[in-house]
Structure 1
Amino acid sequence: MENVWDYPRPPAFEPVSKPIRIEFAGRVIAVTDAAFRVLETSHPPVYYLPRSAFIGCTLEPVSGRSFCEWKGDAVYFNVRVGDQVAERAAWSYPDPTPPTFAAIRDHLAVYAGAMDRCFVGDEAVTPQPGGFYGGWITSDLKGPFKGGPGTMGW
């Protein structure tokens, strides 16, 4: 078991050894063996996939940004398959804070709760609680996880 309270702050990132698959609107929209995960204290990992992994959808840039003290400015995307849209469901750091997070340039993360299903290997993930953070919970993680009611001040 990985305890998310053992993850570092500032966060670290590492390559993912299992394939990642994302399904939306009844189809596979992304698949890769070349993802990274960001590990931050109290959070389940956030998975970043290369932009080239998104083959079954359209990524539509949307207005608005957010700022991460560790990774820099994030931009957001709607995920579209035909007439089905998951609004602001993906984000990216086009100019991540170097040198630590330079490897996630041209990668996107996706809110698992906005998709039909997301997989790490053969395991369907559970979205991080609360809808603000984008972590993916797998059975090998131990919490509690930041994001649910009453956890913003942790």
Structure 2
Amino acid sequence: MTDKPVKIPGPDHPITVTPAASRVVVRVGDRVVADTTQALSLKEATYPAVPYVPRADVDMALLERTDHQTYCPYKGDASYYSIAGAGENVVWTYEAPYEAVAPIKEYVAFYPNKVTVEELPL
């Protein structure tokens, strides 16, 4: 258990995790980093929905773990990865997410201002 404050999503800060209604393809230049029809869509409060991609559908050999970490009182501790050609801390993941967002374990998300994230019709 953590000694950090944990907040339970509620009416003032709702979080939903649902299957994405699209195919998600992530590219750095012409190189495909991820391609999946199994993404999850995490919608948190008033923020735009974020696609989370299963690690199994990511070319993890292209990712390099960094020392950067952040904490979210609703989701837990986030770890980060860099991708050559896209910069540092381009990818984040919650390896031990809080129960409210447990489905995103073993998934990663990408900063869309650092890579190309396409959401295509299924």
TM-score (norm 1): 0.66
Instruction: Confirm or deny that 1:79 pairs with 2:83.
Output: yes
> Moved runs in structure 1, 4+ residues, more than 6 A?
none
- Deviations 1:55-76 (CA, angstroms, capped at 9, x unpaired): 2851111012111111100000
Distance 2:60 2:42 in 1: 24
Q: Give 1:119's aligned amino acid.
A: E
The structure, 1 or 2, with the larger RCO (C-alpha pairs under 8 Å, 6+ apart) is 2
**Contact 2:53–2:107 (8 Å) recurs in 1:** yes
Structure 1: which 5+ runs fail to align?
A: 1-6, 123-154
**Contact 2:66–2:80 (8 Å) recurs in 1:** yes
- Provide the residue aligned with 1:103 in structure 2: 103
Q: What secondary structure does 1:14 align onto?
A: strand
Task: Provide the alpha-carbon RMSD of the alignment.
Answer: 1.9
Instruction: Confirm or deny that 1:121 pairs with 2:111.
Output: no
Q: What secondary structure does 1:102 align onto?
A: helix
Percent identity over paired residues = 26
Distance 1:119 1:66 in 2: 26
| 1:134-149 aligned within 5 A | none
**Contact 1:36–1:47 (8 Å) recurs in 2:** yes
Distance 1:95 1:101 in 2: 10
**Contact 2:28–2:86 (8 Å) recurs in 1:** no
Distance 1:47 1:63 in 2: 23
**Contact 2:86–2:114 (8 Å) recurs in 1:** no
Instruction: Confirm or deny that 1:16 pairs with 2:20.
Output: yes
Q: Return closer, same or farther for 1:22/1:60 CA change in 2, 3 Å cut-off.
A: same
Distance 1:8 1:24 in 2: 36
Q: Give 1:120's aligned amino acid.
A: E
Q: Give 2:119's aligned amino acid.
A: V
Q: Give 2:94's aligned amino acid.
A: Y
- Deviations 1:91-114 (CA, angstroms, capped at 9, x unpaired): 00000001x211111100000110
**Contact 2:92–2:109 (8 Å) recurs in 1:** yes
TM-score (norm 2): 0.82
C-alpha deviation, 1:13, in angstroms: 1.0
Distance 2:46 2:101 in 1: 19
Instruction: Confirm or deny that 1:49 pairs with 2:53.
Output: yes
- How many residues are treated as equivalent by the alignment? 111
Structure 2: which 5+ runs fail to align?
A: 1-10
